[in-house]
Amino acid sequence: MVNQTEIDKAVQVLREGGLVGMPTETVYGLAADASSPDSLRKIFAAKGRPEDHPLIVHVGAVNELSKWARDISEDALKLAHAMWPGPLTLILKKAPHVSDLVTGKQDTVGLRIPGHPVALALLKAFGGGLAAPSANRFGRISPTTADAVREELGGTVSLVLEGGQCDVGVESTIVDMSGEHPVILRPGMISATQIEEVLNKSLSVAEQQGSPRVSGSLESHYAPLTKTRLIESQNIINFLEKVSANELPVVVLTYSVPQQDFERVKWILMPSDAKGYAHDLYHVLRQVDKEHFSQILIEEVPLSSDWGAVRDRLQRASS
């Protein structure tokens, strides 16, 4: 972890308009001063991300919401108090001054308090909002370690704060609280059921959208470079028995099918619970992506709601 001197240095970089790699409990973010358009532009340049993709503003306390959002409903406040700091992003109506670079020219803004001590220390010392997308090149796998951030962004980010491997491992749940009914825009490890319990009402999950209000909603996203496909549990062994030499070597990720020996097949047994699986997923994909396999074969995961976030990321990684 980091000491106060490094936090102070990061604050200085941010005040001078620079970018800082910031650990959060979900994935590492690429942070910039959310009130400085010049700083925000650097995020898009570093990631190679189109400027119409909105950014999440990270804040240090619930009472800062009113600096960024207006017409904040009782329900939104309930969720904020129940889940923050934590892996939940609220979409709210934006306050007038919020930059188009943050909102993608929409009338809403995404906000969250991250549940990582280093992020919280940075936000406290900085004193303002930090816009931070995941610290990967556009469309690629989000980084879950400081090394992965450096690998993704190299020299474009001068300072990456060390925060260890991210606890959650996949991006926050995004819930749109700007309309009449709450809508989940991106599944995460905070489930629809948990949100429904707090709000005491049912909510809907967004259909695939045409415009990239949520870039993670693009069909192909969070993707390894190696060809990646999902395969049903009962077809794995059969596939490996019949696979032709020119399709090898392959790497297989299973959570329920026990490992067997095949030539030129690397077998990785993933955790069999959704939380453990999510924690490992990006880290494992990033590692195997470097190993020159001809394909990554991933066992389909359960359809139950606790696996929703993992299932969503696997579908995008393989599409």
**Residue 134 contacts Mg ion per CB under 5 A:** yes
Among 14, 123, 174, 195, binds ligand TXA (CB under 6 A): 174
**Residue 144 contacts ligand TXA per CB under 6 A:** no
Phi first, then psi: give them for residue 185, nearest 5 degrees.
-95, -30
Check if the beta carbon of residue 314 is closer than 8 Å to that of residue 270: no
Closest CA to 184 of 200, 193, 173, 194: 173
Check if the beta carbon of residue 157 is closer than 8 Å to that of residue 149: yes
> In the complex with Mg ion, which residue's Cβ is closer, 37 or 212?
212
Distance in Å, CB of 178 to ligand TXA, minimum? 8
> In the complex with ligand TXA, which residue's Cβ is closer, 297 or 309?
309
**Residue 108 contacts ligand TXA per CB under 6 A:** yes
Q: Which residue has the tokens 């060809």?
A: 227
Distance in Å, CB of 46 to Mg ion, minimum? 13
Among 21, 29, 86, 163, binds ligand TXA (CB under 6 A): 29
Among 35, 99, 103, 254, binds ligand TXA (CB under 6 A): 103
Which of ligand TXA, Mg ion, none binds 106 (CB below 5-8 Å, type-dependent)? ligand TXA
**Residue 56 contacts ligand TXA per CB under 6 A:** yes
Distant-in-sequence, close-in-space partners of 138: CB < 8 Å, separation ≥ 6: 47, 48, 49, 50, 215
64-99 in b/e form (b: 16+ CB < 10 A) is bbebbbeebbebbeebbeebbbbbbbbbbbbeeebb
**Residue 54 contacts ligand TXA per CB under 6 A:** yes
Check if the beta carbon of residue 49 is closer than 8 Å to that of residue 28: no
**Residue 24 contacts Mg ion per CB under 5 A:** no
The CA–CA distances, whole Å, from 3 to 9, 132, 144, 162, 230 equal 10, 21, 20, 10, 42
Q: What SS3 string covers 86-147?
A: CCEEEEEEECCCCCHHHHCCCCEEEEECCCCHHHHHHHHHHCCCEECCECCCCCCCCCCCHH
> In the complex with ligand TXA, which residue's Cβ is closer, 27 or 288?
27
- Contact segment (CB under 6 A) with ligand TXA among 213-221, 259-267, 279-287, 311-319 equals 213-221
Q: Peptide bond preceding 117: is omega within 30 degrees of 0, i.e. cis?
A: no
> In the complex with ligand TXA, which residue's Cβ is closer, 13 or 188?
188
Among 60, 110, 143, 308, binds ligand TXA (CB under 6 A): 110
**Residue 90 contacts ligand TXA per CB under 6 A:** no
> In the complex with Mg ion, which residue's Cβ is closer, 129 or 250?
129
Task: Please give the residue ranges that form the binding site for Mg ion (CB under 5 A).
Answer: 134
Task: Please give the residue ranges that form the binding site for ligand TXA (CB under 6 A).
Answer: 24, 26-27, 29, 53-56, 89, 91, 103, 106, 108-110, 114, 132-134, 171-172, 174, 185, 213-216
